[in-house]
Structure 1
């Protein structure tokens, strides 16, 4: 599905990524791990076309993405829940959800307002509230719902539960587990290893702009030295 091969990217003259390679197969949940500042968000931005790559290739369902405009990545079927949520603060919940709604994948059961409200009942309760008046957890639910309304083939979450209260985090993880059961392909960046291990199939670990380890999630679960060396836990 997604193939990232030997990409290099950065900001201006500062190179951040050095030969990053990763892949995601249909129906997989893959996690991208690493300490802060190791290149995880830059990798996501490169996949979405928000950071142009200077070397390497990115393809999605055999379509080249490495040097296309960001809207092409969205139209190809990638839905992004960005770090910081980035919802529309002056639109209400309903307007946020329908603003970018699409069915590029022509899903048989496309995501609708009703399905999003079933997944996140709190959003139904807040339907007429402006984005700026929502709590952090509600904004994250809205950001996930907005991405799902594009009916993505691949959902990417950058810092899925960062800064959220424990109960809200658990609700987010519950919804992600449900999406996995429904066969969604997901790439997740997060620091909550216990939750990631419940739903992830494979992992990649980044350090200083490079992939330094990859494998199935059981390997990471059983190797405390690996977690301490690269993740500090």
Structure 2
């Protein structure tokens, strides 16, 4: 489904990605792991076509989705290919209601208001509230619901549970497990290693803008030295 090969990228003269490579297959959950500042979010931004808006650009490599080249496409064109993003920091529309946030980018398909409300009942309860009036957990639910309303073939989550209360984190993980069970392909960034080891099929470790390891949960669990070297602060 998604193939990233030899990806390099820069912000102005500063090179931020040097050689990132990974794949996400249909129905798979794949994580991008690594310490802060190692290039995970920049990788997601490159895949989603968001680097130019931030003064950056992908300079080398390939990004393909179902055989179509994504490199150089603007973000709206990438989204139309079937990639839905839950961005770092949630970035809900603060002056739109919950309902307006959800329908703003909706596309026909399995996910609509009714199915998103069933997944996150709190969004139905708060549908007339402005995005800025929601708690952090509610904003994350809204960001996930908004991405699902685009009916993506690949759901991309950058810091899925960062900064959330434990009960909300547990709810988000339960939702992601349900989505996986329904066959949703997911690319995920999150620091909660216990949860990602349970959820994901494969993991990719990025260090200083390069892919340095990839493998399944069993292999990562069996390599404490690897976790100590690349994941622990």
How many residue pairs were aligned? 228
Matched residue, 2:54: none
Matches within 5 A, 1:10-159: 10-51=10-51, 52-103=57-108, 107=109, 110-159=110-159
Matched residue, 1:5: 5
- The whole-number CA distance in structure 2 between the counterparts of 1:22 and 1:195 is 21
- The whole-number CA distance in structure 1 between the counterparts of 2:195 and 2:21 is 24
Report the 3-state secondary structure (helix = DSSP H, G, I; strand = E; otherwise coil) of the residue aligned with 1:54. Answer: strand
What displacement does 1:225 show? 1.3
What displacement does 1:218 show? 1.1
- The whole-number CA distance in structure 2 between the counterparts of 1:162 and 1:10 is 26
Matched residue, 1:183: 183
How large is the Cα RMSD of the aligned pairs? Answer: 0.9
- The whole-number CA distance in structure 2 between the counterparts of 1:112 and 1:100 is 11
* TM-score, normalisation: structure 2: 0.96
Deviations 1:164-183 (A, max 9, x none): 01110000000000000000
- The whole-number CA distance in structure 2 between the counterparts of 1:167 and 1:135 is 13
- The whole-number CA distance in structure 2 between the counterparts of 1:86 and 1:65 is 23
* Structure 1 gaps, min length 5: none
Matches within 5 A, 1:197-212: 197-212=197-212
- Contact (CA 8 Å) 1:10, 1:42: kept in 2 or not? no
What displacement does 1:189 show? 0.2
- The whole-number CA distance in structure 1 between the counterparts of 2:91 and 2:10 is 22
- Contact (CA 8 Å) 1:79, 1:154: kept in 2 or not? yes
Deviations 1:36-70 (A, max 9, x none): 00000000000011123111111101111011111
Matched residue, 1:165: 165
- Contact (CA 8 Å) 1:5, 1:58: kept in 2 or not? yes
What displacement does 1:9 show? 0.3
* TM-score, normalisation: structure 1: 0.96
What displacement does 1:155 show? 0.2
